[in-house]
Chain A
Amino acid sequence: MNVIETQKLVRKYGRMEAVHDLTLSVPAGSVFALLGPNGAGKTTTIKVLMNLLSPTAGEARVLGVDSRKLGVKERLQIGYVSENQQLPPWMTVRQLLDYCRPWYPTWDRDLEKKLLVRFELPEERKIKQLSRGMAMKVALLSSLAYRPKLLVLDEPFSGLDPLVRDEFIQGVLEVSEIGDWTVFISSHDINEVEMLCDWTGILTGGRLQLTERVESLQARFRRVEVVNDTAVVSSVVVPAHWLCYEQSGTILRFIETNFVAGKTEALCRERFPSAAVTAHSMSLREIFVALMRAERPQSREGALL
């Protein structure tokens, strides 16, 4: 079952199309990372999913309900943390939790206490006196303590120092182990997200480039280095699934997006019979960067050398 589903989702701001024909599925129990550079449409997508914005066209369903009809019943099962969320600044951490608690019949006080300790939050300090990282942790706590079925995190690491990011991630990891939650996270901080997610979608310019299990993505992406005896002939035709093709003297480098052990090497040998071929596994960040570079017009041209 999919917790989030979008079908040809479009969202425009005036003439500008922030999200274009987005079709996306987030399976239940997954930690799904929606990655993309700034302005890719991640936040807009999340706002549509949370019914903070209406879709211009298409459909978005969250927990099986049309996002435009998300009501109290659904919100009881959704946790939302955003970098733009405004917490009442005059409240102390304790007051905020006291305020939130009665809204949720499923509020888990033990989990609340555990997270308070985990995040080292000062209960009696006012939110306006907290650092940005602390405030984000408060927001996360108030969104986790009722064990939502779906946790939506919109750019949660933005502006946080590495230490706080780590704590934040550890917190999410710990609670995600406790129950069968679905986490939908948007970010451009890929290194952090990589620690969390098992599914990913990459969004650029409002268009979804891919959506796949991280495991499978990392299995099919390889950074390949080919060392030839002689200078590479520039007229060699490379397959479309080789991205970021570069040559420097006798060395060729490219990203194989469809790696199969043996097959990629065979393809290389067809073109460079005497070359030494090595394939390196890639991190999610490297895959993301490769895909972004491939989006650029010159890279496409390069790929056709």
Chain B
Amino acid sequence: MKMIWHIMKKDLRAIWPLWLAWLGLIAIRIPLILYYLNSASEQALSLMSLVSGCAFLADAILIFSLVRSLVHEDTLAGDGSFWITRPIAGTQLLFAKLASALLVCVVSPLVVLVPTWWGFGFDGTEVAHVLTSYGQINSGLLVLAFLFAIVTRRGSSFWLVLISTVVAFMILGLASSMWLSMSVSFYERQILVYSGVVLVLFVVVQQFIKRRTWIAQSSLGVGALLTALVSPHCPRIDTSLSYEKRIDQPLTTTWNGVGAYFAKKDQESSLPDYVKGKLEIVIPKEYTRVELQLLKGEWIDSKGAVFQADGVDDQGNLLEAPAPAVSSPMQKDGQGAFTCDVPLTLSANWLWNKAQPWTPTGFFGRFRIMFIQTVTVADLKLVAGAKARTGSFVTRLVSVQSYKDAVKFTTIEAAAAGSGNDHVSLFAPSGGRLTQPRGSWYKRSIPMLWVRLEYDTSVYSLRSQEADGSKETTGRVDDSEELLAGGETHENLGERGWRFVKQVDQRVGYNDYDLKATNLNIVKASTP
């Protein structure tokens, strides 16, 4: 133990200028964020996004640099290192390096950040909540950097190998998707994760105990290769297109968020920009009340629902309690989970922007959102610039609807048909695919020329939302009043309802029609 500390002292002395610079960078960020958070303007938030993005990039690079420097203080690859012929055990060195890396990359930034979080009004529990998340991300970066550092000798080779691996990883992932269509199940993924852990341990043992660099390097290469082939996070080319319907489809994909996203208390936040889906905001049990208020945009009132219990049944389906009153503030139920289907616009920056802009967690959230984006590419739409005011703070984005069971939108089966539905949202995606097993970075936009809806009810409200804003027309079938909406044609089919024909501009990525009706029964909706 004494000698481990002895090595650590030496290593920390070697890297202190860089270490200090990094902590300085973190500290400098705080007043900036405070300033932008308090200003709460769109412009400020955008700027904060930029600052946070650059900061995360800097964090990642500095973590890699610090870990590399720590490990290369006593190089493991090659035979020229000073320590090799000294009475230093491999295990001592391993523990010393790991402890130093954890201290530098995980513990020390928290020492800077925690007081700030306290300053924002978060209590110990809340701060502790985010520590896990923060620790996970930095530890992940740390392990990755550690692996590359122990199999390389110099900084140049470290960066070269790292960049080459990332590029090769992406190329291989893209290429393999052309001929390898592999869907990874949950259990397979678990096996992959455990295999990865075993591989990491194997490489570490080979280098620190056995000092067999060639075997360690080969193992790491093979591991990266296999990961690239099967990883769901590897970019894929989506070569197929399909359309999805979105008429009260059951939630088929639940995305579990990554822990906590802190917003300053009473922080006015922009909701995400272009994912239409379910946003479940989980409020910690310590809170007895939450206010969620839209400052801009609209609630679709009947969709503001409170889920019972944890909101999920044994099969993982969401349980929807009777919809509460539309009015804000909404009351929190006993379990503290709200799920609101709002015309929200989920920006890729959302979590990052509003939640925890001064830690990489937010960016990690962004990454996850990007992943969702790849899965739910058809759901993306700029609906409206909605804003929410949180009386408490948003902790997690736990689910986003993804409409996995895709069917072509040539004819929408009236899934929501039947009496009793008073609201349906028709969702005509422009392209992309939700069922791509591994996601895709590939976004397609196919113009939808027109949509025809036939319904046999008395419409009292028709709302059409597009990228350029929202239009709403109301009327009653009984009145035979023609619904006019910017060049759209509507044909009264008498008892059969209305035929609504909409000419959509080229390259409109998304069209959404919200119909509020009594006893709505959609017969057909189609594209040519």
Contacts and interface: CB of A to CB of B under 8 A. Distances in A.
Interface bin, chain B: 10 to 19
A103 B88 contact: yes
Contacts of A75: 85-88
Contact of B79 (A47, A71, A88, A103): A47
Given A88-B73, A90-B14, A103 B86 contact: yes
Contacts of A78: 85
Given A72-B87, A75-B87, A104-B87, A99 B6 contact: yes
B179 interface: no
Given A84-B80, A85-B80, A88-B73, A50 B85 contact: yes
Nearest to A152: B85
B170 to A, nearest CB: 33
Contacts of A76: 87
A54 to B, nearest CB: 9
Interface in A61-98: 71-73, 75-76, 78, 80, 82, 84-88, 90, 95
Contact of B82 (A47, A73, A86): A86
* Interface size classification for chain A: 20 to 34
Contact of B81 (A86, A90, A102): A86
B84 interface: yes
A52 interface: yes
Contacts of B88: 72, 75, 103
B16 to A, nearest CB: 10
Contacts of B82: 85-88
Interface string B46-79: 0000000000000000000000000001010001
B3 interface: yes
B89 interface: yes
B14 A102 contact: no
Nearest to B85: A80
A100 interface: yes
B5 to A, nearest CB: 10
Nearest to A102: B6
A103 B79 CA distance: 20
Contacts of A73: 87
A50 B85 CA distance: 7
A282 B84 CA distance: 40
B471 interface: no
A47 B79 CA distance: 8
Contacts of B14: 88, 90
A76 to B, nearest CB: 5
B11 to A, nearest CB: 10
Contact of B89 (A72, A82, A87): A72
B10 interface: yes
A50 B10 CA distance: 25
Nearest to A99: B10
B3 A52 contact: no
Interface in B1-32: 2-3, 6, 10, 13-14
Contacts of A52: 79, 84-85
A72 B93 CA distance: 12
Nearest to B7: A99
A161 B134 CA distance: 55
Contact of B87 (A47, A84, A90, A103): A103
Contacts of B2: 102
A52 B6 CA distance: 24
A57 interface: no
A53 interface: yes
Nearest to B9: A99
B212 to A, nearest CB: 9
Contacts of B85: 50, 52, 75, 78, 80, 85
A76 B84 CA distance: 12
Contacts of A104: 87
Contacts of A102: 2-3, 6
A274 B84 CA distance: 63
A158 B484 CA distance: 92
Contacts of A100: 86
Interface in B68-122: 73, 75, 79-82, 84-89
B101 to A, nearest CB: 18
A71 B87 CA distance: 7
Interface of A: 47, 50, 52-53, 71-73, 75-76, 78, 80, 82, 84-88, 90, 95, 99-100, 102-104
24 contacts: A47-B79, A50-B84, A50-B85, A52-B84, A72-B88, A72-B89, A73-B87, A75-B87, A75-B88, A76-B87, A78-B85, A80-B85, A82-B80, A84-B80, A85-B80, A86-B82, A88-B10, A88-B14, A88-B82, A100-B86, A102-B2, A102-B6, A103-B3, A103-B87
Given A52-B79, A52-B84, 20 more contacts: A47-B79, A52-B85, A71-B89, A75-B86, A75-B87, A76-B87, A78-B85, A80-B85, A85-B80, A86-B80, A87-B82, A88-B10, A88-B14, A88-B82, A95-B13, A100-B86, A102-B2, A102-B6, A103-B88, A104-B87
